[in-house]
Amino acid sequence: MPMASAFRLLFAAVILFGGAWPITKAALADASPLWFGTGRSALAALGAAILLAFLGRLRLPQAEDRIAVLFLGIFQLGAFFALTHLAVALVPAGRTAVLSNVVTYWLIPLSVLVLGEKVSAQRWAAAGLGLAGACVLIGPWAVDWSSHDALVGHLMLVLAGLLWTIAIIASRKWPPKTPMFELLPWCFGIGALLLAPLAQFMEPDGGVGLSSWPFLLYIGFFAAPIGTWCVIEAGRKLPGAVASVGFLMVPAFGVTVSALWLGEPIGWDVIVGGILIVASVVLAALG
């Protein structure tokens, strides 16, 4: 896949996933986090399966596909959704979008250690610039670290970033033979099977209220399957340093949408952080 096509997938993921966090935050006013995560996974699996069946392309994964399917289903779509949906109830949606997508501190070193990638000095500089922008967006100086909810929520998001990175590394080390879009029903299905018992155990009285169903349908049938496909393909096709920096545009867009829709404040941190992240993406692409 040419680099330009991979960047188009990356930008599509930015729009879909950056906007998904404020939508999820709004949905949780009438839904419990894990049941919402279970619902979006199940609907994404169903929607992708229906589309593939209509196209005559619905089939079981081949033997060469199974490692990638398991890693993506368990780590990126099961455990990642569990941690981020629990965290978004504890911290602002904009901050959730930032931390859950800051995979730079995991992806670049793991790409070097596990995949043997060579990272240029310019791309290391781009990663540092992107992390600086993410740090400004997070605004750790404004967080009450004595709050149990704030501490736990932020730790969940850092761990979620690691799990997402593991899934990316696995899909690159053991690339599937089948086109990734055809594997989405099985990946999302594994995620839903992992989340459902967890939701039943941790949220026995939870569920998704009527007013949250439009949000769930949009994310489940549209944003989740298409955005996930874009993220997986971009992560597989772009160099680790470029992908990790590029994913930082997701939180930048998420923070902007959160501010405009949910009224989360826009200040110098949002402006400066956004500029740093955009500059880091340009630097990584040129490097």
Residue by residue, DSSP assigns 77-93 as IIIHHHHHHHHTTTS-H
Q: What is the pLDDT of residue 150?
A: 76
* Cα gap 166→146, rounded to integer Å: 30
User: pLDDT tens-digit profile of 42-65?
Assistant: 999 999 999 899 989 999 999 999
Q: Is residue 137 within 8 Å of 270, Cβ to Cβ?
A: yes
Residue 234: per-residue pLDDT: 80
3-class secondary structure for 195-207? HHHHHHHHCCCCC
* Per-residue pLDDT, 271: 72
Rounded distance between C-alpha atoms, residue 108 and residue 113, angstroms? 9
Instruction: For the chain, list residues with pLDDT below 70.
Output: 1-3, 92-105, 137-139, 142-143, 240-241, 244-245, 248, 251-252, 255, 258, 262, 264-267, 269-270, 274, 278, 281-282, 284-287
Which pLDDT score, from 0 to 100, does residue 33 have? 86
State whether the Cα torsion 257-258-260-266 is positive or negative. negative
pTM of the model: 0.75
CB contact at 8 A, 110 and 46: no
Inter-axis angle of helices 33-55 and 180-202, nearest 10 = 150
Q: What pLDDT score does 127 carry?
A: 74
Could you tell me if 24 and 215 are in contact, meaning their C-beta atoms sit under 8 angstroms apart?
A: yes
Give the pLDDT score at 287.
60
